[in-house]
Amino acid sequence: MEEPTEKLVGLAALIRTWRDRAAPADPTARGRRAPGLRREELAQRAGLSVDYIIRLEQGRMTHPSPQVLGAIARTLGLSPDEIELLYRVAGLVAPRGPILRQVPDSISRLTERLGAFPVAVYSADWWLLRWNARWAALLGDPADQTGRNRNLVWQVFTDDRWRAAPADRPLAEFQQALTADLRIAVAEHPEDIRVADLVTALRAASPLFAQQWTAGHTARHRTERKRVLHPHLGELLLDCDVLQSPDPAVNVLVYSAPPGSADAALLERVMA
C-alpha cells in the first residue's frame, strides 16, 4: 500500500476540516454524531465514490484531478482563497474565470497618484489597458498601435522598434520571463480563449518564443533597470517597477530615475 506523503496528508486534513464545517442536509438525523457532512454525503453531492473520499482523507489518493478538486470545492462551498489553497496543496493551479481586461477603480486611483511618472496598466497576459501621456512620450503613443501590437509579449518578440531593453541581463532572459508570466496566465485561466489564441500566434510568429514556451522555464518578469532609446534624446537608463495586483490580476509598470541624476533630467525633458 502506498504511504501517504506529507503533501497529501495536508490535503487530507484540509478536506476533513472543511467537511466537518459544511452544513449537512439534515442536521437532526438520527445517529448523526458529527456536525458537518458525512463522507457519504460529500461523495454523493460531489459525484464521487465513498471509497475515493476515504482514501483521499487518509492521504492515500495521489494526484487528485482538477475536476475532482473542483467538485469537492463546490460541494463544500469553499471561498476563493480556500479554493486557491486546496489546489496549491494538491500541487495544482486553481482555475479562474476569464482574464480581467479592465482597469479596476482602485488601480485607477493608484495610477492617478503616480501621474508624475510614465505609467501603464497591463492585464495578466500583458495586454495594454491604460497609459498616461508621460508613458506615450517616453515609449511612443499606444494610440497608434492596433491589434496584437498592444500586447507587450507580442511587441518584445516580434517588433524590433520596441524602445525598452533590460540593462542588467540579456534580452533573451527578459523574453523568457515574459513567456513564463504568459504560461502562468494560461494555467490560471484555462478557458480564456484570447490568451490561448495569443500563444498560438506567438508560437507561429517567433521561433524563439516557441522554443522558450516548449522549454517551460520558470523565470518571472520582475522590477529591473531598462535602457530606453528615445528617438530625440538618445538612451535613458531608468528603473522599471512592476507593481502586481493579484486580485484582480493586473500589472502596473512605472518608469523613474534617481532624483538629481542625468537620466532624471532627460526624463523630465521627455515629459515636458
Alpha helices in 98-206 (DSSP H): 105-113, 133-139, 152-158, 171-188, 193-205
Please tell me whether residues 71 and 146 are part of one structural domain: no
Please tell me whether residues 19 and 76 are part of one structural domain: yes
Asked if residue 1 has pLDDT above 50, the reply is no
Distance between CA 259 and CA 125 in Å, rounded?
32
Last residue of a domain, one of 40, 56, 89: 89
Please tell me whether residues 173 and 74 are part of one structural domain: no
Q: Position 170: which residue type?
A: P
Q: How do residues 206-238 score in pLDDT, each as one tens digit?
A: 999 999 999 877 666 778 999 999 999 999 999
Give the H or E element holding residue 57: helix 50-57
Classify residue 98: in a domain, yes or no.
Answer: no
Q: Which domain holds residue 70?
A: 6-89
pLDDT for 6: 52
The pTM of the full predicted model, rounded to 2 decimals, is 0.76
Q: How do residues 120-143 score in pLDDT, each as one tens digit?
A: 999 999 999 999 999 999 999 999
Classify residue 100: in a domain, yes or no.
Answer: no
pLDDT for 31: 55
**Average predicted confidence (pLDDT) for the chain:** 88
CATH of the domain at 232: 3.30.450.180
Here the cell at position 89 is 496543496
Please tell me whether residues 218 and 247 are part of one structural domain: yes
Please tell me whether residues 153 and 228 are part of one structural domain: yes
Classify residue 166: in a domain, yes or no.
Answer: yes
Last residue of a domain, one of 41, 65, 89: 89
The domain tally of the chain equals: 2
Name the 3-class secondary structure at 219: coil
Helices (H) and strands (E) in the chain, counts: 12, 6
- Tally of CB atoms within 10 A around 14: 19
Please tell me whether residues 146 and 185 are part of one structural domain: yes
Classify residue 14: in a domain, yes or no.
Answer: yes
> From its phi and psi, is residue 31 left (phi > 0), alpha (psi between -120 and 50) or beta?
left
Q: How do residues 170-204 score in pLDDT, each as one tens digit?
A: 998 899 999 998 998 888 888 899 999 999 999 99
- Tally of CB atoms within 10 A around 63: 9
